[in-house]
Structure 1
Amino acid sequence: MIRRALLLWPLLLALALPAHADARLSVLVDVLRLDEVAAILREEGLTSAEDLNAGMLDGQGGGAWQTQVEAIYDPARIVEAVRGALDRELDDAALEEAVAFFASDLGTRIVALENTAREAIRAPDVEEAARLRYAELSDTLTPRLEMLRLFVAGGDMVERNVTTALNSNFQFMRGLADGDALDVSEDQMLADVTAEAEAIREDTEGWLYGYLLMAYSPLTDAQLQSYIDFSSTPAGQAVNRGLFSGFGAAYEDISYALGRAVALNMTARDL
């Protein structure tokens, strides 16, 4: 009997490991407050959908359009996409380091500042002020901006944001085409999307630096440097890749679904 128990122990341990890793991943999702991020992105999306309704549906989308958009911007699906990407990117050691940092007093404060700023910058006047602040500093050697330049470069944040935007635009066009609201080849879609790259890059830089200057303004230089130092570690880089990969995948799915929904509503309107 004892021998049998000993033989089963390695199997029980092996079965427990994935559950433990999954639990730690849940902790990381919690300390990153991804549910809060997804809720903010949903509100951004619903606002953008109003522009789509006005620009492509002549404001005639009505309740059906609203219902479709609310289903498309599902916060739970966004969180799951990011969770899956983090799971792929972080090994056990990186996961523990990431949890330790973002559960710390500084990490908790950083996440709160990022989310508060992301919510605030949804307001057009706040976004304009943030962009203006960056424009005023962009040609200077302001120490805080120099720190942020290192932070952004270390995470390749501008190019990753641009790539996400281009991929999302392409998927939106695919959705329109698959819904018979756009009659162009994929090659033409790619050409049209690629032609927007430089304008998107310039717009992204202005928004990103304006947002970061606002979000981290309450931090001391030493606190910001601690965050930059963590971000440059293998664990920090893995978190960055996971976040961009997960949110990028979520945005592509959302953009395609929006394209299909627009096409559906355009077809229904024309009947």
Structure 2
Amino acid sequence: MTQFRQIAAAPIFAVLMMALAIGLPLAPRAQAAERERIEAFLATTGFDVALDSIAFASSSAPEMLGIDPGAFGQSWTRTVDDVFDTEVMRGIALDILEQTLSDEALNHAVEFYASDLGQRLVEAENASHMIEDDAAKQEEGKAIVAELVRDGSDRVETLKRMNAAIDASGTSLRALQEIQLRFLMAASAAGVIELKVGPEEMRAMMQANEGAMRSALQMSALAGAAYTYQDFTDAEVAAYTEALEQPPMQEVYELLNAVQYEIMANRFEVLAARMADLHPAQEL
């Protein structure tokens, strides 16, 4: 599964989470796929590895709160490993997808990703997901983009199309803002930090910087794609982009992005509550 950004797929996900919360039966979107097939789907598409890589984002949590990331010592590592347990995150994904992923969408995605090209793409994407040093990956990706631009390659525009297909609704920025906001509010409620402004004021401050943040996200996504798919031919990258632009694949990505967004936001809220039990001074 291609390089994920956390996308708040609002229409589908708002209805989904409300139904799950109050225990209403969900109308099948064609027919919901059974759990065993979804587990195989996650492995075939590489979404299982994409979920596992969410844990890497936890490294930014203390900095978002203005806390020295090394202040918690080994207790931080233990807490992160517990909160971002891969089995827990995969279980949440399975619970949601079991009730929402249609057979048509599942079969369409599996057919592509099970192909020779699809499996090579998944292998490259899985390797990219599991690189913890994102800064180094970004620098190498930017260098690749710069070289492509100098050569006048059409590949840059193809990669931009690919990223647009992944975030067809264009809501990745708002999703990242919401994750940060939910984390800050949870940390405040747990007594980890004291906020001087309310959620609406924080949203307003985030919106004021949206232009610059959106540009930064687009540049980051382009560099990430350039790095991940550097060993593929232009024709293969174009074929992948066209596959991602197909309506059934768009349905898959809308749902999977929403699932990953909710898992990330949920885990950060749990992490904020757990941070209240950590004692930096005792670990220094």
Q: What one-letter code is carried by the residue in structure 2 that aligns with 1:26?
A: E
Indicate the SS of the match to 1:200: helix
Q: Alignment partner for residue 111 of structure 1, among 122, 130, 152?
A: 122
Q: Residues 241 and 150 of structure 1: is their aligned pair in 2 closer, same or farther, counting only changes over 3 Å?
A: same
Aligned partner of 1:161 in structure 2 is 172
**Cα RMSD after superposing both structures:** 3.1
Q: Residues 235 and 86 of structure 1: is their aligned pair in 2 closer, same or farther, counting only changes over 3 Å?
A: farther
Q: Residues 117 and 256 of structure 1: is their aligned pair in 2 closer, same or farther, counting only changes over 3 Å?
A: same
C-alpha deviations, 1:117-148, integer Å up to 9, x for none? 23347253332221343356569852111111
Runs of 4+ in structure 1 off by over 6 angstroms are 266-269
Indicate the SS of the match to 2:130: helix
Q: How big is the shift at 1:68?
A: 2.0
- Equivalent residues in 2 for 1:1-271, closer than 5 Å: 21-42=34-55, 44-49=56-61, 51=63, 55-57=66-68, 59-87=70-98, 89-120=100-131, 122-135=133-146, 137=148, 142-156=153-167, 159-180=170-191, 181-183=193-195, 184-265=197-278
- Structure 1, gaps ≥5 residues long: 1-17
Q: How big is the shift at 1:220?
A: 1.9
- Structure 2, gaps ≥5 residues long: 1-30
C-alpha deviations, 1:194-229, integer Å up to 9, x for none? 334333322211211111111112222222222222
Q: What one-letter code is carried by the residue in structure 2 that aligns with 1:221?
A: D
Q: Residues 141 and 163 of structure 1: is their aligned pair in 2 closer, same or farther, counting only changes over 3 Å?
A: farther
Please give the TM-score of this superposition, normalised by the length of structure 2.
0.75
Q: How big is the shift at 1:155?
A: 3.0
Aligned length: 250
Query: How many angstroms apart in 2 are the aligned matches of 1:106 and 1:62?
Result: 43
C-alpha deviations, 1:31-85, integer Å up to 9, x for none? 023333333332x2354357569x4157432333332222221222322343445
Q: Residues 159 and 266 of structure 1: is their aligned pair in 2 closer, same or farther, counting only changes over 3 Å?
A: farther
Query: How many angstroms apart in 2 are the aligned matches of 1:103 and 1:78?
Result: 24
Higher percent of residues as helix: 1
Radius of gyration: which is bigger?
1
Please give the TM-score of this superposition, normalised by the length of structure 1.
0.78
Q: Residues 171 and 19 of structure 1: is their aligned pair in 2 closer, same or farther, counting only changes over 3 Å?
A: closer
